[in-house]
Amino acid sequence: MILDRVNMPDDLKQLSINELNTLADEIRELIIKKVNTTGGHLGPNLGIVEATIAMHYVFNCPKDKIVFDVSHQCYPHKILTGRKEGFTNPEKYNIFTGYTAPEESACDLFKVGHTSTSVSLAAGVAKARDLAGRDENVLALIGDGSLSGGEAYEGLNNAAVLNSNIIIVINDNDMSIAENAGGLYQNLKLLRDTKGKAELNFFKSLGFEYYYEDKGNDIQAMVKAFKKVKDTNKPTVLHIKTLKGCGLKCAETNKEAYHWILPGTLDKVSNTPAGENYNTITTDFILKKAKEDKNIIAISPATPGAYGFTKEFREKLGKQYTDTGIAEEHAVAYASALAKQGAKPVLAVMSSFIQRTYDQLSQDLCLNKSPVTLLIHWGAISGADCTHLGTFDIPLISNIPNMVYLAPTCKEEYLRMLEWSLEQNEHPVGIRVPFGNFISTGIKDGTDYSKLNKFKITQSGEKIAIIGAGNFYHLGLKVSKAVEQRFGFKPTVINPLFLTGVDEDMLDNLKNRHEIVITLEDGCLSGGFGEKISRYYGNSDMKVLNFGADKEFTDRVPVNELYQRYHLNTDLILDDIQKIIKAKV
Amino acid sequence: MILDRVNMPDDLKQLSINELNTLADEIRELIIKKVNTTGGHLGPNLGIVEATIAMHYVFNCPKDKIVFDVSHQCYPHKILTGRKEGFTNPEKYNIFTGYTAPEESACDLFKVGHTSTSVSLAAGVAKARDLAGRDENVLALIGDGSLSGGEAYEGLNNAAVLNSNIIIVINDNDMSIAENAGGLYQNLKLLRDTKGKAELNFFKSLGFEYYYEDKGNDIQAMVKAFKKVKDTNKPTVLHIKTLKGCGLKCAETNKEAYHWILPGTLDKVSNTPAGENYNTITTDFILKKAKEDKNIIAISPATPGAYGFTKEFREKLGKQYTDTGIAEEHAVAYASALAKQGAKPVLAVMSSFIQRTYDQLSQDLCLNKSPVTLLIHWGAISGADCTHLGTFDIPLISNIPNMVYLAPTCKEEYLRMLEWSLEQNEHPVGIRVPFGNFISTGIKDGTDYSKLNKFKITQSGEKIAIIGAGNFYHLGLKVSKAVEQRFGFKPTVINPLFLTGVDEDMLDNLKNRHEIVITLEDGCLSGGFGEKISRYYGNSDMKVLNFGADKEFTDRVPVNELYQRYHLNTDLILDDIQKIIKAKV
């Protein structure tokens, strides 16, 4: 293998173009095999193999500095910068993260997993270089899909006036995760169609020197292209056309399905989802409602697949569906305006990505009390990498005035909350879509959620009250059983339903027959739900124990290890309870 | 007065162009007089008088819908839409807000006070219209300064593909609050210089139909311009050139100084600031440090005036200063990268505007542990309007992992924190710049803030411990004196210094001689600092009372009324303490 002779970027410089081409084939094969084993980003990495080889052939990392946007496309870079064993040796498949990570290599500048940040970061890197009086090249490698994000534009607008070397490589494969959305993409198409010659040029309008390379998957062409821009002293855009999924037929043909894959995807004939789940009941619900009411509209900021907004679903909705592209801020403001004008928007966002919209949730949405339905997906403690944690949405959302943030514990509650949210006209409503096992109680929920912050006692007991929010309601039930077994009395169990306030009457009543309240939440404790209960009981004799995640970025820590760390299992919870009981005796 | 005949937009349609011109003079005079009495946005409103009259002459509000960006330029609109008495009658100067407000008029669509939101909001309004099958015009009026914000770009990118009527009016006065920053502004200049004829056109590149009007302060020209775009069925940009401060010499000449003015500004010869304050000590500190170290760099996202980053200061810093334009997200990512590469960035942002950066604080900054110094200004409970509250920065910032958020209580602590933050290389550091009276103790602070979450006992006492954070440390001292007077014992007083964690050893030790801990914070309780103390003491006998703001948007409520509402004065705090003491007896 040629790769045997390549450990670091410098080794590339000894190879012929033919050898580099062979190397590309080898890298491509390794990526396909590895990703099909571990899961991960497939299409974006297959598309960028040649450009990455050429980039490292022309530039000198780590002296020259490359910032990868969202780093969905950093696998070839990892292979070429001292980390190939993470791809050649199946036993080491998991030793490196799926994203750039400075602790792994001096060639990685930042931990990155959210989109549209690379240009801003590269601008800072370039400015630091200028202040220090050095002269290395600074590059940002950003996909066309990431260009719709506001942070990317803010970065471009500022990078354009840096007045020194900064090279923005636009990796244009004509796809976001799903199709691109937005006016910019017409301009990218025009530029591709004219091989970069069109006068109307988004990048030039911002002041960049602009180069186009049509053959983004041709190493020789890319070497030439990179040489042209190397050591420029002006803010420069190099726009390259690549093929997403390049070299793997299915990934070239069905770009959305093979953007990110689960382990074993390539071995299967089809990927039929198994039965009912929270995604299917959501899309069924929306389709039914949208047929009845033309003012219903579903919105996704470029991640429809994550919540089952399939191509078929999108096509059925037609004009009643908007993909905003990667543009969460716009998505929230747009939804707010739609609601204010009588439409019924349902905006689905991942917990980790709703982070981009605090100000829009506050100002555009909640200050204006627009009745938007916000579905927050993947909000949970998990073994995810540090850039995709779903533990911060409760602190983020629940402390914003006027917001109603609901935590269903099963299918029936979830559907009732959806229904109620669409019926009412008073509140911005977030629903934390249950994460984990699909649970159906079979008991129809008829709750009127307009009575805000009304918790539900699902088991009347004594001494201890267990408030289990959302996903962790079921943990609450288990704790209850364990309490009964170990201590010999039946505790009270409460499903709070609401995360944005406390049921003061109920909490006051609990004082009568209870001495300890425990709260369980599937997210970060700091700023979260349980602290509101602690504050409420601060002036009373009630003891309160809050269980949830610590304030920390965890990185691919197995979820059971996290549960252990945070005392989120019955034994450890009971031990903590026992300490209080002992202290009191 | 012509204005006597104008109450609502329809009345304009009866007037001749000459009468409309006279009306413009009348409106201009009213605005100058009113703003010089109450304070407010002067330059932006003077610049938009003629365009507003023409807009209401051509369109039919409230059927046609206009979204004002940031609504710094909505005074003429307010005068023409049923609210002129707020400008003609000095006794009613304060009955209307300085921003658009739907509760005041059907012609106002949203409460808006943060920039760059209008295009997204208008896109939602237009889409709701399309879903409902109506056909009114939808306009967004946005200043050139606001175009640098990512949300504006996300909105433009999406509005461009709406495939129906939406009219974006670009009010180009060639100024943000200070000078514009960014590549886009070269394109706006090119478009102005060529009267809109240049091929290279940012808006066209996004797919908009584009019109230019050079005479934005000429009613007749503007009527023509608006008529041209009215009832368009395509996403359309109307780019107009206006003069900021138009009609008031000083405001035309010194656009930054007269963007927003204090009451009486026009009556004074000069506005020399009176002595030392937190702004002057900050700028003195930065200038001194920047001279010693060329890697020091100050950054402001378009609001330099708010923290005393005067023109002189900016010029002295030269390359060691970046104004990012209105682009807080970029500012945070840029600062993070600068710090990661060895520079020493000091980024100053208003409490209310840091809201736009939660995800950048989390991902770009804290996940990467970049040693940025973040100065958060105007973080305090205040009588501000609902769009500029400074009560949410503690919940926002303090629950992000790896962040160190400091709350100085006086000049000496503040300067030491600044010094320490620039010396260290481990932590992203936020400093909540004290708000209110300038306090200098004269006692040099030599604290090593690397020992995180070490609170300081400033008065040793018994029974009650008062933790007064930042601005409210001084309230804590007052409460201490009152406790001594009313209850006859000396309580403990603590300056926590840190808002991002608790001093567990100290809190444990307090259990020995104390029964009640009270916390005081100048911000929202929900998700804030005090709740962390409540959570910590949850399993103990310690009573905890958290004092701070409720989770609510307040709107120009006098601060003393808010203090009363939140029990933030010594009498009410003592009453609350007394309730617990009684309950215990």
Q: What would the pLDDT profile of A374-386 be if each residue is shown by its tens digit?
A: 999 999 999 999 9
Q: At what angle do helices B118-132 and A328-340 cross, to 10 degrees?
A: 50
- Better pLDDT: B105 or B272: B105
For residue A198, which residues of chain B lie inside 8 Å, CB to CB?
A: none
Q: What is the pLDDT of residues B276-303, one digit of tens each?
A: 999 999 999 999 999 999 999 999 999 9
- B37 near A CB under 8 A: no
- A290 near B CB under 8 A: no
- Which one, of B185, B182, B120, lies nearest residue B151 by Cα? B120
- DSSP string covering B124-163, please? HHHHHHHHHT----EEEEEETGGGGSHHHHHHHHHHTTS-
- Which one, of A238, A237, A234, A235, lies nearest residue A225 by Cα? A238
The neighbouring-strand residues paired with A494 are A457, A467
Per-residue pLDDT, A41: 95
For residue A337, which residues of chain B lie inside 8 Å, CB to CB?
A: 67, 109-110, 120-125, 127-128
What are the Cα distances from residue B311, in Å, to B70, B301, B306? 24, 15, 12
CB contacts under 8 A, B 334-363 vs A, are: 334-343, 345, 353, 355-356, 358-360, 362-363
Asked if residue B581 has pLDDT above 90, the reply is no
Percent of chain B's residues with pLDDT above 90: 96
For residue A127, which residues of chain B lie inside 8 Å, CB to CB?
A: 297, 322, 334, 337-338, 343
Task: Report the C-alpha gap between A156 and B157 in whole angstroms.
Answer: 15
Residues 6+ apart with CB under 8 A from A314: A304, A321, A323
- Which one, of B353, B345, B306, B308, lies nearest residue B327 by Cα? B353
- Segment holding B212, helix H or strand E: strand B209-213
Q: Exposure pattern of A287-319 as b/e (b: 16+ CB <10 Å)?
A: bebbeeeebbbbbbbbbbbbbbbbeebbeebee
Nearest beta carbon to residue A206 from set B131, B184, B387: B184
Query: Which token pair is B491?
Result: 């309580």
Give me the helices (H) in A542-569, please: 559-565
Per-residue pLDDT, B276: 94
Asked if residue A584 has pLDDT above 80, the reply is no
Q: What is the pLDDT of residues A83-118, one digit of tens each?
A: 999 999 999 999 999 999 999 999 999 999 999 999
Q: What is the pLDDT of residues A9-68, one digit of tens each?
A: 999 999 999 999 999 999 999 999 999 999 999 999 999 999 999 999 999 999 999 999
Asked if residue B524 has pLDDT above 70, the reply is yes
A534–B535 C-beta distance less than 8 A:
yes
- B148 near A CB under 8 A: yes
Q: Does residue B392 contact residue A362 with C-beta atoms inside 8 Å?
A: yes
Nearest beta carbon to residue A128 from set B123, B341, B538: B341
Asked if residue B270 has pLDDT above 90, the reply is no
Closest-CA distance of chain B to residue A301, Å: 11
Q: Exposure pattern of A511-530 as b/e (b: 16+ CB <10 Å)?
A: eeebbbbbbbbbbbbbbbbb
Interval A477-482 mean pLDDT = 98
- A156 near B CB under 8 A: yes
DSSP assignment letter at A346: E
Q: What is the pLDDT of residues A196-221, one digit of tens each?
A: 999 999 999 999 999 999 999 999 99
Asked if residue B126 has pLDDT above 90, the reply is yes
Mutate to test the interface with A, among B112, B188, B357, B531 (most CBs of A within 10 A): B531
Asked if residue A266 has pLDDT above 70, the reply is yes
Q: Does residue A168 contact residue A119 with C-beta atoms inside 8 Å?
A: yes
Interval A431-450 mean pLDDT = 96
Nearest beta carbon to residue A395 from set B122, B132, B527: B527
Where does residue B315 rank: exposed (0-12), middle (13-18), buried (19+ CB within 10 A)?
A: exposed
Asked if residue B272 has pLDDT above 70, the reply is no
- B243 near A CB under 8 A: no
Per-residue pLDDT, B559: 98
Interval A419-435 mean pLDDT = 98
Asked if residue B113 has pLDDT above 70, the reply is yes
Query: Which token pair is A152?
Result: 């990317």
DSSP assignment letter at B236: E
Task: Report the C-alpha gap between B145 and B327 in whole angstroms.
Answer: 10
Nearest beta carbon to residue B532 from set A322, A401, A526: A526
Q: At what angle do helices B504-513 and B530-537 cross, to 10 degrees?
A: 60
For residue B200, which residues of chain A lie inside 8 Å, CB to CB?
A: 199-201, 204-205
CB contacts under 8 A, A 552-571 vs B, are: 552-553
Q: Exposure pattern of A88-97 as b/e (b: 16+ CB <10 Å)?
A: beeeebeebb
Asked if residue A554 has pLDDT above 80, the reply is yes
Interval B474-478 mean pLDDT = 98
> Other C-beta atoms within 10 Å of B484: how many?
13
Per-residue pLDDT, B178: 80
Interval A122-149 mean pLDDT = 97
Query: Which token pair is A392?
Result: 């911060």
Per-residue pLDDT, B123: 98
Q: What is the pLDDT of residues B371-404, one digit of tens each?
A: 999 999 999 999 999 999 999 999 999 999 999 9
- A142 near B CB under 8 A: no
Asked if residue A585 has pLDDT above 80, the reply is no
Record the pTM: 0.97
Mutate to test the interface with A, among B157, B191, B208 (most CBs of A within 10 A): B157
A117–B363 C-beta distance less than 8 A:
yes
Confidence band, pLDDT 50/70/90 cuts, at residue A132: very high
**Entry field: residues in chain A:** 585
B545–A543 C-beta distance less than 8 A:
no
Per-residue pLDDT, A270: 54
Q: What is the pLDDT of residues B502-519, one digit of tens each?
A: 999 999 999 999 999 999
Percent of chain B's residues with pLDDT above 70: 98
A552–B538 C-beta distance less than 8 A:
no
**What is the maximal distance between C-alpha atoms in chain B?**
83
Percent of chain A's residues with pLDDT above 70: 99
Mutate to test the interface with B, among A134, A170, A329, A546 (most CBs of B within 10 A): A329
Q: What is the pLDDT of residues B62-111, one digit of tens each?
A: 999 999 999 999 999 999 999 999 999 999 999 999 999 999 999 999 99
B392–A399 C-beta distance less than 8 A:
yes
Q: Does residue B232 contact residue A208 with C-beta atoms inside 8 Å?
A: no
Residues 6+ apart with CB under 8 A from B507: B517, B533, B536, B537
Q: What is the pLDDT of residues B177-232, one digit of tens each?
A: 888 889 999 999 999 999 999 999 999 999 999 999 999 999 999 999 999 999 99
- A294 near B CB under 8 A: yes
Give me the helices (H) in B98-245, please: 118-132, 150-159, 184-193, 202-205, 219-229
For residue B153, which residues of chain A lie inside 8 Å, CB to CB?
A: 150, 153-154
Interval B466-494 mean pLDDT = 98
Closest-CA distance of chain A to residue B272, Å: 33
Residue B194 amino acid letter: T
Mutate to test the interface with B, among A114, A120, A393 (most CBs of B within 10 A): A120
Query: How far, rounded to the nearest angstrom, does the alpha carbon of residue B109 sit from its chain's CA centroid?
Result: 20
Task: Report the C-alpha gap between B231 and B221 in whole angstroms.
Answer: 18
For residue B332, report the phi and psi dihedrals to the nearest 5 degrees. -70, -45
Residues 6+ apart with CB under 8 A from A197: A212
- DSSP string covering A481-504, please? HHHHHHHSSPPEEEE--BSSS--H
Asked if residue A302 has pLDDT above 90, the reply is yes
B340–A110 C-beta distance less than 8 A:
yes
Interval A245-271 mean pLDDT = 89
Residues 6+ apart with CB under 8 A from A91: none
Nearest beta carbon to residue B525 from set A132, A341, A535: A535
Per-residue pLDDT, A312: 96
Task: Report the C-alpha gap between A216 and B163 in whole angstroms.
Answer: 32
Instruction: State chain A's mean pLDDT as an integer.
Output: 96
Asked if residue A351 has pLDDT above 80, the reply is yes
Residues 6+ apart with CB under 8 A from B45: B31, B35, B72, B73, B74, B75, B76
Nearest beta carbon to residue B123 from set A200, A334, A531: A334
B148–A120 C-beta distance less than 8 A:
no
Asked if residue A268 has pLDDT above 90, the reply is no
> Other C-beta atoms within 10 Å of B264: how many?
11
Residue of B nearest to A402 (CA): B552
A158–B153 C-beta distance less than 8 A:
no
Task: Report the C-alpha gap between B103 and A16 in whole angstroms.
Answer: 71
B157–A184 C-beta distance less than 8 A:
yes
